[in-house]
């Protein structure tokens, strides 16, 4: 599959529910906002229910629908396979698609197990001429991309500590019913895998280095919920806490919860450096708090509305003051992926980046399973 | 042109710069999020520069481009004409399109003159079987739609006063150059027409009644700016103030400015009633401040994140906590227009609503031209 | 009365309710925080009810109490007369005290009528060796004092427009009973005199110049309230609006209300200049919003916590980060008054400053009584 | 020492710097705002430097000064000994004063060592007719007292998790010089003892139960600072993290730092329960965030301005909307202490409460000294 193909790149998305809808939106719009990217063709939407996926394909702008992903990835008119299925299918589809010479985008988390994630990294490393990326879409929030730039430039000095949380409240009500997300066999983990994964990837992204040790705790506050057949044990965590150290010695605290009444999508990150600090809240994703001094008569945290033309990703969108929403991050992600394809360059976050996150989560789980003591995270092979 | 056509409705957008891009985005996405609406076909993008409009059409998802709007509105495969040109062209295109039996959507303001606006209302009133709407897109901000619902339900009691502003800062720098927007002959007015029009429409929308008297003031703080041929007088207002009264006696204060350093898109509205209050800031458009009592031990202004499924327009989008951006309002606007077409019902805001806003602005100008005394606004024929 | 007296200055406060309590607090504490000021002796608290004032004097730290202010101001051991009575008594006490050679501090507003205020200014001008000040305590809010410094230094450039409001809600409930504050004969005016007076004084203070023209509007939303003897008409304004111009051409909008549900003490001031802006909210009086540029990649409104040692008034109080409350402003006011006494220098705000505010309020009332047209404010003799 | 003494209670404060000034302020003002409390007489200020303490006594309103605390506590005219010295003197003064039959108030922390703290609790337990209290003044922040009431009433349901921090930035600058506060031998610990002590006491106060297990981490980011004799090692922590569990199973995360650029006095507490949540920030101490439901159409975090008459401590102060500052908490603390003396009832926080906090801090240190594993906190004898 060449990067220099003159026809539009054919895209297939596997999965058509929440993430499939978000990714479809990205492919439908990327050309309008990123005319410099290679053009794409929304060819195929893949799902298990033939009639439902056909209807979704019609609404979401796809030329066709299909039910067998294995057949799809063999098609010559498909250049990009975008995997939006539940996590346990990521490995098989990604490995097969890479083997078939397709570019692959996988929704986070990379896989449900470390072994699968490692195999996927190996597959990506051995594939030639194709690109593999994992979909941590918050790397495309302009305010967070700006934060990374400011950190890299040294504007807040040497980073010392990060205070991060991802708080939601959809399980705060003890009467909320049992779902597959609350069973370990189907979901893998709870708030840890779902929410802390975003936080850890942001740490890696913002700081440009990896977490190398972790201590942690997991808690299930509501241990039984009403299922279809009566009360059923909840076997994943409702909340998790971690204390992390990066390779250069930054200390990061992490708290994630699905029980935090009043917080809907509260990914908050505060970064403290030797010369200033940054703060962010996903519920106000167009804003970045910036303090780039250590005090003084008119010193204070600035509320930067990240909608200027010279802010990351903003050139593609609207004039200053016109805010973006959550879904715009997926369109920017698609553009970044297309750019990496066009340039023949490795995209970020890579599968290795996805594996690096999962190794941190595994270390947190290991620590939590004991008495919370610190454990090392071995990050070899996550580049 | 029937509303019951079985083929997708053919759309033509006239204009392809900022607003043309925003409206194109809406037509491209409305089907994905509003599968219940009549399907549309992005047929034609119209502009004066053949090569530029062709390129834009390609990026924005249009099947064709054209340069002659008169020819376009005659085409049988065009059902909807969406006018995104500068204001002085609105009248001619809209009247012709209505006469040709097309549904018409016109960007705000309805027209540059009261006479043109009145003629457009007359044209819309006499057209049969087609719908005419003016594009005050902020009516589709979920938080503002929720505000209207709450007011209508009486949750804050009888409204007494509204404190509103629309503050931007792109002219705060006296060194910012002269543009056509700062010449009366091309722009009509300055902050008043551009910004106060949104505020006044929101008053009408939120309160469900019209402004019937107005006093006002206009100010040009930087009276000369550097143009291509040297210094040139600025002949429109940089800022404007108004004190308005509605038919039921609500008092509204309005302040608009392009000189408000630090405010990028600060449309702020506070509504005070006999039993509570509401507050809104467009820079945080996913939030509504709600106080629905008159005090007490745990009383205070609530920050409502307007992203729940039972919030206006949200069902079409994403799960709770996943925010929208500025451009989503245009997609919802397109959906509302399509729904009114499907139902054969009058859309809002109608051309009459657009005229009503302009009559208020004219009254403010009249007051400001004198000593700022209150003048009546005659709202007949604006329904 | 010499400024160089070696014994502590004897203070008498006239009035012992809300303002008397606040001023007593100031005199009790000024020495502890301002050891460089002339020492004071809390000698006398004066009130009409002998037993009540005696009890209050005991609690508030006064050596004696008395009921006859005329006798008090003649006493040799009284150097400062601080007038906290209702406004209609200000004139007589102040003029007599000045004639008796006492320093005089008068709570705002200076007087209930322009004629009285003018007479007081004349009395202050003709008194020798004594100081006269009016108590606009918000001039001693550190954040507002900092704002004035920043404006004076030119940090936000040339000021163009000010957006100000003072919103409270204690009358929002239509069932709130009739009081003397809602009768014109006792209260003079409503929100205008009570709240707009603070706003206008702040304009004069922050900008260092006077308001020279005004247009305005007054509104009584609840025209009848339940009194002791049944329903009774409300004869003062519940809310007021004004549009003001200063001598240099700054335009200020003012809105005040006692009907703004949810706002308890919401004095908010936004100042927009040619190079930045400032913002303030009395409900968060330890903070000042500062933007001192016109934009850029990390530009935004800074939240300055005004508790640093180099902030105005802060040296007297606590280390950085330890906030002040409302009442601290009165202690700082007392310190400023004592300093002016010690230096033999004119204090600010002077009686002339108090008169200047009242002339603006009178102009607003005059405009409001007509059709809201702009009227001139004659500021001679208000220096 | 009887509680029913008819003469005012004689107070001696030991220490006259920052805390001595704050406590002096409290004793000077408590009578004015709490006329129902037993009256007090500001008799003696004690300090080592005779001339400096004499001057301070004069400014702060004390009748006398002295240098020998042992002589002072023997005096018959002293009823209350208020200890504001450095921590290593707390034990000796408190134990001697209790033995001399005086009521004792000790600034936090109770003592520098667990052994001293335990001895002080024993001394307080065996003293008869006198009251002993430790000065965690933030228990008198009205918003936090309201938070406790709301939690106790069950308004946010069963508490599950608490997210707390105390962030300052006075050491963020690596060039800030060495001080005694950064040497273990003089300061005991760093951010942990200074800041986390407040957080832990708030946990005990708000939840009405004790922390029973802890894991923790300490970090010194700037390990050497410039002292009078050249570079010197910093031997206390700059920042600390802890994960705590209370007796009922609430999980609390704690982060404290003196390196958090931009935070001046940022004690922030978020409490999440099964039916709602609360949030607080000491930099905005007049406000409490309250969410008392689990969602809905107009649900959101309410900003409650805690200045109403029915809010804790507010009746003593000013009308609604008139905010308090940091120092008011000490006046309320004095009033609470006097009330407990008058009633012959045990005050809170007791010495036992102070010991309970120190046991938690000791457990955090123990955990941090190892690999961060969880350790039990034995809370016997801390009642």
pLDDT tier, B185 (very low <50, low <70, confident <90, very high otherwise): confident
The position carrying tokens 């804790």 is D312
Tell me if B259 and C161 make a contact (CB, 8 A cut-off). Answer: yes
Instruction: Say whether residue D156 is in contact with chain B using an 8 A CB cutoff.
Output: no
Domain assignment of residue D119, yes or no:
yes
Q: Which residue has the higher pLDDT, C275 or A88?
A: C275
Cα A311 to chain centroid distance, Å, stands at 21
Would you call C214 helix, strand, or coil by DSSP? strand
Instruction: Say whether residue D176 is in contact with chain C using an 8 A CB cutoff.
Output: no
Give the gap in angstroms from C-alpha A243 to the nearest C-alpha of chain D.
Answer: 8
pLDDT per residue as tens digits for the range D292-336:
999 999 999 999 999 999 999 999 999 999 999 999 999 999 999
Report the alpha-carbon distance of residue C112 to residue C169 in Å, rounded. Answer: 24
Instruction: Find chains touching chain A: ≥3 CB pairs under 8 Å.
Output: B, C, D
Give the gap in angstroms from C-alpha B325 to the nearest C-alpha of chain C.
Answer: 20
pLDDT at A4: 47
Report the alpha-carbon distance of residue B12 to residue B79 in Å, rounded. Answer: 8
Burial of D227 (0-12, 13-18, 19+ CB in 10 A): middle
Give the end-to-end CA distance of chain D in Å, rounded to a whole number: 24
Domain assignment of residue A24, yes or no:
yes
Give the residues across from A266 on adjacent strands.
A167
pLDDT tier, A1 (very low <50, low <70, confident <90, very high otherwise): very low
Domain with residue B273: its CATH number is 3.30.360.10
pLDDT at C2: 40
Report the alpha-carbon distance of residue B13 to residue B57 in Å, rounded. Answer: 10
Report the alpha-carbon distance of residue B173 to residue C294 in Å, rounded. Answer: 7
Residues A169 and A221 in one domain: yes
B-facing residues of D in 327-346 (CB < 8 A) are none
Domain assignment of residue D345, yes or no:
no
Mean pLDDT in order along chain C per 10 residues (383 residues) = 68 97 98 96 98 97 97 97 94 98 96 94 96 98 98 98 98 95 89 96 98 98 96 97 98 98 97 98 98 95 97 97 98 98 97 97 97 94 70
Residue pair A44/A72 in contact (Cβ under 8 Å)? The answer is yes
Cα A141 to chain centroid distance, Å, stands at 11
Residue pair A107/A137 in contact (Cβ under 8 Å)? The answer is no
pLDDT at A383: 64
User: Of the residues A137, A159, A179, which one is the last residue of a structural domain?
Assistant: A137
Helix (H) or strand (E) holding D209: none
Domain assignment of residue C381, yes or no:
no
Please report the beta strands in D52-146, taking only residues with DSSP state E, as ranges in sequence order: 64-66, 80-83, 103-107, 132-135
Report the alpha-carbon distance of residue A113 to residue A90 in Å, rounded. Answer: 10
| Cα distances (angstroms) measured from residue B140 to each of A4, A31, B26, B109, B312 | 42, 25, 12, 16, 8
Report the alpha-carbon distance of residue C153 to residue C146 in Å, rounded. Answer: 10
- Mean pLDDT calculated for residue range B333-341: 98
pLDDT per residue as tens digits for the range A61-79:
999 999 999 999 999 999 9
Tell me if A272 and D261 make a contact (CB, 8 A cut-off). Answer: yes
Note down the domain range covering C244: 139-324+356-375
pLDDT at C130: 97
pLDDT per residue as tens digits for the range A248-290:
999 999 999 999 999 999 999 999 999 999 999 999 999 999 9
Domain assignment of residue A217, yes or no:
yes
Q: Supply φ then ψ for residue C99, to 5 degrees.
A: -65, -30
| Cα distances (angstroms) measured from residue C279 to each of A306, D106, D243, D263 | 20, 41, 39, 20
Residues C78 and C193 in one domain: no
Residue whose C-alpha is closest to residue C62's, from C74, C44, C49, C46 = C44
User: Of the residues B117, B137, B157, which one is the last residue of a structural domain?
Assistant: B137
What DSSP letter does each residue of A245-313 carry, written as one string? EETT--EEEEEEES--TT-SSEEEEEEEESS-EEEEEGGGTTEEEEE-SS--TT--EEEEE--STTSTT
What is the DSSP secondary structure assignment for residue A172, as one 8-state letter? -
pLDDT at D68 over 60: yes
Domain with residue A45: its CATH number is 3.40.50.720
Give C-chain residues touching A292 at CB under 8 angstroms.
298
pLDDT at B219: 98
Give C-chain residues touching B167 at CB under 8 angstroms.
163
User: Of the residues A137, A159, A176, which one is the last residue of a structural domain?
Assistant: A137
pLDDT at D209: 97
Residues C92 and C122 in one domain: yes
Report the alpha-carbon distance of residue A136 to residue A108 in Å, rounded. Answer: 6
Return the exposure string of A111-142: e unless at least 16 CB atoms fall within 10 Å of the residue's CB, then b: bbeeebbbbbbebbeebeebbbbbbbbbbbbb
Domain assignment of residue D331, yes or no:
no
Would you call A24 helix, strand, or coil by DSSP? helix
Report the alpha-carbon distance of residue C321 to residue C334 in Å, rounded. Answer: 24
Residues D55 and D195 in one domain: no
Residue whose C-alpha is closest to residue D169's, from A275, C287, A206 = A275
Residues C127 and C157 in one domain: no
pLDDT at B383: 64
Residue pair B257/C272 in contact (Cβ under 8 Å)? The answer is yes
Residue whose C-alpha is closest to residue C237's, from A56, D268, B251, A224 = B251
pLDDT at C188: 84
Number of Cβ pairs < 8 A linking chain A and chain D? 120
Domain assignment of residue B2, yes or no:
no
What DSSP letter does each residue of C22-90 carry, written as one string? HHHHHHHHHHHH-TTSPPEEEEEEE-SSHHHHHHHHHHHT-SEEES-HHHHHH-TT--EEEE-S-GGGH
The contacts of residue B257 (CB under 8 Å, 6+ apart) are: B165, B166, B167, B168, B191, B195, B238, B239, B240, B263, C161, C272
The crossing angle, in degrees rounded to 10, of helices B142-153 and B197-207 is 40
Query: C-alpha angle C156/C160/C162, rounded to 5°?
Result: 90
- Mean pLDDT calculated for residue range D150-171: 98
**Other CB atoms within 10 A of residue A369 CB:** 11
- Mean pLDDT calculated for residue range B30-38: 97
Nearest chain B alpha carbon to C214: B372
Give the gap in angstroms from C-alpha A263 to the nearest C-alpha of chain C.
Answer: 23
Tell me if B300 and D310 make a contact (CB, 8 A cut-off). Answer: no
Instruction: Find chains touching chain B: ≥3 CB pairs under 8 Å.
Output: A, C, D
Q: Supply φ then ψ for residue D105, to 5 degrees.
A: -115, 125
- Mean pLDDT calculated for residue range A234-240: 97
The contacts of residue A71 (CB under 8 Å, 6+ apart) are: none
Tell me if D239 and A161 make a contact (CB, 8 A cut-off). Answer: yes
pLDDT at B4 over 50: no
pLDDT per residue as tens digits for the range A202-226:
999 999 999 999 999 999 999 999 9
Instruction: Find chains touching chain D: ≥3 CB pairs under 8 Å.
Output: A, B, C
Tell me the percentage of chain A whose pLDDT exceeds 70. Answer: 98
Residue pair B246/B210 in contact (Cβ under 8 Å)? The answer is yes
The contacts of residue B215 (CB under 8 Å, 6+ apart) are: B242, B243, B364, B367, B372, B373, B374, B375, C215, C217, C371, C372
Residues C254 and C315 in one domain: yes
pLDDT at A27 over 70: yes
Q: What tokens appear for B101 in the block?
A: 């039996």
ipTM: 0.96
pTM confidence score: 0.97
Give the gap in angstroms from C-alpha D287 to the nearest C-alpha of chain C.
Answer: 9
Give the gap in angstroms from C-alpha B309 to the nearest C-alpha of chain D.
Answer: 9
Tell me if D294 and A172 make a contact (CB, 8 A cut-off). Answer: yes
Domain count, chain B: 2
Residues B234 and B273 in one domain: yes
Report the alpha-carbon distance of residue A318 to residue D290 in Å, rounded. Answer: 36
Residues C216 and C102 in one domain: no
Region of residue C170 (phi > 0: left; psi between -120 and 50: alpha; otherwise: beta): alpha
pLDDT tier, B187 (very low <50, low <70, confident <90, very high otherwise): confident
Please report the beta strands in C93-151, taking only residues with DSSP state E, as ranges in sequence order: 103-107, 132-135
Pairing relation of β-strands B40-46 and B9-14? parallel
Tell me if A305 and C304 make a contact (CB, 8 A cut-off). Answer: no
Residues B371 and B262 in one domain: yes
pLDDT tier, D341 (very low <50, low <70, confident <90, very high otherwise): very high
Domain assignment of residue B335, yes or no:
no
Report the alpha-carbon distance of residue A310 to residue A328 in Å, rounded. Answer: 17
Residues C133 and C153 in one domain: no
Residue whose C-alpha is closest to residue A82's, from A23, A5, A32 = A23
Report the alpha-carbon distance of residue D100 to residue D98 in Å, rounded. Answer: 5
pLDDT at D110: 95
What is the DSSP secondary structure assignment for residue A177, as one 8-state letter? P
Residues D95 and D144 in one domain: no
The contacts of residue B343 (CB under 8 Å, 6+ apart) are: B3
Residue pair D361/D200 in contact (Cβ under 8 Å)? The answer is yes
Instruction: Say whether residue A209 is in contact with chain B using an 8 A CB cutoff.
Output: no
Residue pair D95/D81 in contact (Cβ under 8 Å)? The answer is no
Residues B30 and B122 in one domain: yes
Report the alpha-carbon distance of residue A193 to residue A366 in Å, rounded. Answer: 14
Alpha helices per DSSP H over chain B = 18-33, 50-60, 69-72, 90-99, 114-126, 142-153, 184-187, 191, 197-207, 328-343, 351-369
């Amino acid at each position: 599959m060449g990067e220099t193909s003159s026809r539009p790149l054919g895209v297939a998305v596997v999965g058509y529910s929440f993430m499939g809808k978000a990714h479809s939106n990205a492919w439908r719009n990327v050309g309008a906002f990123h005319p410099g990217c290679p053009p794409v063709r929304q060819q195929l939407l893949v799902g298990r229910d033939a009639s439902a996926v056909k209807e979704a394909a019609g609404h979401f702008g796809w030329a066709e629908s299909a039910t067998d992903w294995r057949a799809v990835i063999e098609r010559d008119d498909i250049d990009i396979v975008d995997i939006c299925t539940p996590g346990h299918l990521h490995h098989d589809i990604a490995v097969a698609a890479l083997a078939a010479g397709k570019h692959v985008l996988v929704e986070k988390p990379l896989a449900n197990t470390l072994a699968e994630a490692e195999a996927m990294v190996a597959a990506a490393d051995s594939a030639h001429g194709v690109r593999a990326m994992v979909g941590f879409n918050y790397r495309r929030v302009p305010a967070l991309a700006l934060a990374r730039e400011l950190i890299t430039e040294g504007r807040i000095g040497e980073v010392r500590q990060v205070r991060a949380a991802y708080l939601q409240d959809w399980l705060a009500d003890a009467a909320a019913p049992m779902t597959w997300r609350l069973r370990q066999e189907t979901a893998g983990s709870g708030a840890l895998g779902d929410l802390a994964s975003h936080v850890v990837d942001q740490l890696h992204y913002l700081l440009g280095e990896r977490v190398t040790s972790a201590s942690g705790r997991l808690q299930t506050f509501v241990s039984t919920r009403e299922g279809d057949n009566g009360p059923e044990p909840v076997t994943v965590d409702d909340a998790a806490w971690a204390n992390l150290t990066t390779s250069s010695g930054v200390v990061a605290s992490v708290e994630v919860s699905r029980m935090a009444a009043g917080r809907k999508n509260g990914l908050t990150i505060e970064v403290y450096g030797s010369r200033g600090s940054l703060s962010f809240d996903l519920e106000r994703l167009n804003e970045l708090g910036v303090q780039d001094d250590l005090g003084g008569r008119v010193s204070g945290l600035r509320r930067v509305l990240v909608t200027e033309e010279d802010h990351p990703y903003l050139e593609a969108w609207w004039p200053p003051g016109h805010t973006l929403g959550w879904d715009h991050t997926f369109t920017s992600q698609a553009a970044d992926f297309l750019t990496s394809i066009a340039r023949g360059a490795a995209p970020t976050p890579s599968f290795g980046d996805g594996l690096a996150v999962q190794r941190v989560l595994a270390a947190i789980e290991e620590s939590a399973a004991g008495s919370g003591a610190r454990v090392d995270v071995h990050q070899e092979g996550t580049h």
